[in-house]
């Protein structure tokens, strides 16, 4: 089984947040907090 890349995990996190919020209101901090990554990722 192939592991997900950081890019795939962040994109998945963004899609999850976009289901409930307007896209233009989502911040980088919210995306990385949602998947337990640091903003440096």
* pLDDT, tens digit (0-9, with 9 covering 90-100), for 1-41: 788 899 999 999 999 999 999 999 999 999 999 999 888 87
Could you tell me which CATH number the domain at 1-41 has?
Answer: 1.10.10
pLDDT at 38: 86
Domain ranges of the chain: 1-41
Cα–Cα distance measured from residue 37 to residue 17, given in angstroms and rounded to the nearest whole number: 15
pLDDT at 41: 74
Cα–Cα distance measured from residue 23 to residue 18, given in angstroms and rounded to the nearest whole number: 6
Burial string for 2-39 (b: 16+ CB within 10 Å, else e) reads: eeeeeeebbeebbeebeeeeeeeebeeeebbebeeeee
Residue ranges of the alpha helices (H) in 1-41?
6-18, 28-34
């Amino acid at each position: 089984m192939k592991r997900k890349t950081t890019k795939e995990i962040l994109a998945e996190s963004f899609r999850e947040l976009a289901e409930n919020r307007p896209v233009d209101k989502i911040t980088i901090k919210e995306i990385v907090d949602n998947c337990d990554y640091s903003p440096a990722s």
